[in-house]
Structure 1
Amino acid sequence: MIKKWLGGALAAMVLGVASMGAQASMISNAELAAVEAQLELRDQVMQQITRADVQQQLVAMGVSVKDVEQRIAAMTDAEIAQLHSQLQDLPAGAGVIGIALFVFVVFVITDVLGATDIFPFIQPVR
């Protein structure tokens, strides 16, 4: 009795899974290029953050490098594009302090909004 019931349940599950069709569609060259461009921007931002002088400034401001990397990984494509454009607009000599200051401001804003909890002295608005 149990074998028949178990067999019937397994057969129903197999048929249910088999009937679920996978959807596949073609990706246009423009969509593929856009995805590659976003990945490249994300890599460029991460390269800036992994520089030793930038990491020293972040640590001096009380922000751990791991928190910065996690926050950048969680950023949307639009936020990455904005961060990248601001990094490109910085003068060569002010790049380190500008990057560190910008990341610090982003963390303060996300702490105020309650998205992160990096700084204990900032109370989120709720």
Structure 2
Amino acid sequence: MISVRRLTVMAATLLLFALVTSPLHASMVGTGEILAAEQAHADRAQLLKTLSREDMRRQMERMGVTPELAEERVARMTDEEVAAINERLGELPAGAGTLEVVAIIFLVLVLLDALGVTDIFAFVRPVR
């Protein structure tokens, strides 16, 4: 008769072979995917650069948003959100529209608060 220990060893060996021989899946990464990732990285860097300007920092602090918090929020934004904000920034004339940019960022922060992603503003109740 086969002992329990020997049966356990055989079952473990079969399981090990089953794990080792499981198929691996690989696919090609397209040029479009690489370009989209690079563009998203560039958009995020551009937005962070804009937020690091002194006038932007002063305006955000007046609204109660610390620069560190804004950078954290940008890191949590989707690539589409970052691209939309950067597109809006590109439409504004040079040197103008700082208040609008800060307002857009503030609205995004409030939206993230309402979705329950963060809890920064006491006046925003998350939807659950």
Matched, 1:24 2:26: yes
Q: Which residue of 2 aligns with 1:40?
A: 42
TM-score, scaled relative to structure 1: 0.78
Aligned mates of 1:25, 1:13 — CA distance in 2: 27
| 1:3-32 per-position Cα deviation (integer Å, ceiling 9, x unaligned) | 868855764564344223332211122222
Equivalent pairs counted in the alignment come to 126
| Structure 1 contact 90–98 (Cα < 8 Å) conserved | no
Show structure 1 runs of 5+ residues with no match. none
Distance 1:44 1:22, change over 3 A: farther
**1:108 is aligned with what amino acid?**
V
Aligned mates of 2:50, 2:15 — CA distance in 1: 50
**1:66 is aligned with what amino acid?**
E
Shift of the alpha carbon at 1:97? 2.4
**1:20 is aligned with what amino acid?**
S
Shift of the alpha carbon at 1:95? 4.0
Identity across matched positions, percent: 35
| 1:76-111 per-position Cα deviation (integer Å, ceiling 9, x unaligned) | 121111111011112222243232221112112332
TM-score, scaled relative to structure 2: 0.77
Q: In structure 2, which of residues 73, 81, 84 is the aligned counterpart of residue 71 of structure 1?
A: 73
Q: In structure 1, which of residues 101, 106, 120 is the aligned counterpart of residue 122 of structure 2?
A: 120
| Structure 1 contact 112–124 (Cα < 8 Å) conserved | yes
Aligned mates of 1:67, 1:3 — CA distance in 2: 58
Q: Which residue of 1 aligns with 2:92?
A: 90
The structure that has the greater radius of gyration is: 2
Show structure 2 runs of 5+ residues with no match. none
